[in-house]
Structure 1
Amino acid sequence: MLNIHLAQAHQAPEISELIGELLAEIMQAINETAFSFHLEEAQQRLHEFIREGKNIVFVAERNNALIGFVTIYPSFALYAEGAFATLAELYVKPEYRAQGVGKALLDAVKTHGKQQGWKRLEVTTPPLPQFDKTLAFYQREGFQISGGRKLKTELT
């Protein structure tokens, strides 16, 4: 049976391992070292983010084993007409994909967002065309392409 619930800070080590799997999968698909990932730092950071409410994390468990997660963070913007959230990471272990786990995680986020009064959810997909299936998944779940590209600049 699938169990979706809010993560607790003490789950940060296990969730961080899945974050490492997600980032490794993306980098392998695009053949580029796009992320710098250090497990211990990620565990500490995620623990703090959950404890302080900077990230809201839902986990998917089957038979008491963690099989997926989604992280979101609340934001505010004029263009979004107030409060909204950005989906930062969503990952389901490969052997559990196409079984409704990702949809169940998104449904939990949408329910939570409505309770919080958020106007929308936003997400940036990993690079295309390598992640066309990811884009198709989000579109099936009601997300619409809103244009533009995600850009970044390092501040350190």
Structure 2
Amino acid sequence: MLIQRATELGAKITVEMIKDLLDELDGKAVEWDTDKAETLCKEMIRKEDYIVFHYVNGAGKVVGLITIAETESLYAGGKIGLVQELYIVPTLRSKKLGRSLIKKAIDYARMRKWNRLEVGAPAYPEWARSKAFYIREGFKEVGPRLKYVL
């Protein structure tokens, strides 16, 4: 297995996996325009500030991914990375693939000289394992994140 940075050619599988993640988080199929999402994903991948790493198995199949957005903040003293999505196919969870993707993200963050890597983990009881995973991997709690949908 190997972890590689996705190119535009990987947009389709990236979109499929993120759709699976969103369905899982929501508990039902979410409304999703796959064609629009794939076009947007290709545009984002072309930029240096949106990074997708795919975890590829020995058969060449993508079985996990992590997406990171580079941004800046005063509170963090400059550039940071935001983990947007982390997804492993359900049959391969608890096999350390997530840990490998986080390590890749941390290595990338250090190479880019970011000051920190942040992630929002669901605070609901049914997602306690996700939060525990990030804490186990060295993330610290800094409070909940909120969003305003425009």
TM class, shorter-chain normalised? over 0.9
Provide the residue aligned with 2:55 in structure 1: 60
| 1:80 pairs with 2:76 | yes
1:127 to 1:44, Cα distance in 2 relative to 1, 3 A: farther
Matched letter for residue 18 of structure 2 = I
Return the alpha-carbon distance in structure 2 between the equivalents of residues 25 and 50 of structure 1. Answer: 24
SS in 2 for 1:154: coil
SS in 1 for 2:126: coil
Return the alpha-carbon distance in structure 2 between the equivalents of residues 90 and 43 of structure 1. Answer: 17
Return the alpha-carbon distance in structure 2 between the equivalents of residues 76 and 38 of structure 1. Answer: 30
* Shift in Å, 1:37: 2.3
How is 1:100-111 mapped onto 2 (pairs within 5 angstroms)? 100-111=96-107
SS in 1 for 2:140: coil
**Larger deviation, residues 97-106 vs 50-59:** 50-59
* Shift in Å, 1:154: 2.1
Pairs aligned (count) = 149
Matched letter for residue 11 of structure 2 = A
Provide the residue aligned with 1:8 in structure 2: 7
Return the alpha-carbon distance in structure 2 between the equivalents of residues 123 and 99 of structure 1. Answer: 21
Structure 1: segments with no counterpart, 5+ residues: none
Return the alpha-carbon distance in structure 1 between the equivalents of residues 123 and 34 of structure 2. Answer: 23
Instruction: Select which of 93, 111, 121 maps to 1:125.
Output: 121
Matched letter for residue 24 of structure 2 = E
Matched letter for residue 105 of structure 1 = L
What's the RMSD between the two structures over aligned residues? 1.4
Provide the residue aligned with 2:26 in structure 1: 27
Structure 2: segments with no counterpart, 5+ residues: none
**Alignment deviations for residues 50-79 of structure 1 (CA, whole Å, 9 cap, x no partner):** 012341000001020010000000111110
Provide the residue aligned with 1:139 in structure 2: 135
Matched letter for residue 102 of structure 1 = G
Do the aligned partners of 2:49 and 2:71 also contact (CA within 8 Å) in 1? no
Provide the residue aligned with 1:150 in structure 2: 145
| 1:51 pairs with 2:81 | no
Identity of aligned residues (%): 32
Do the aligned partners of 2:70 and 2:80 also contact (CA within 8 Å) in 1? yes
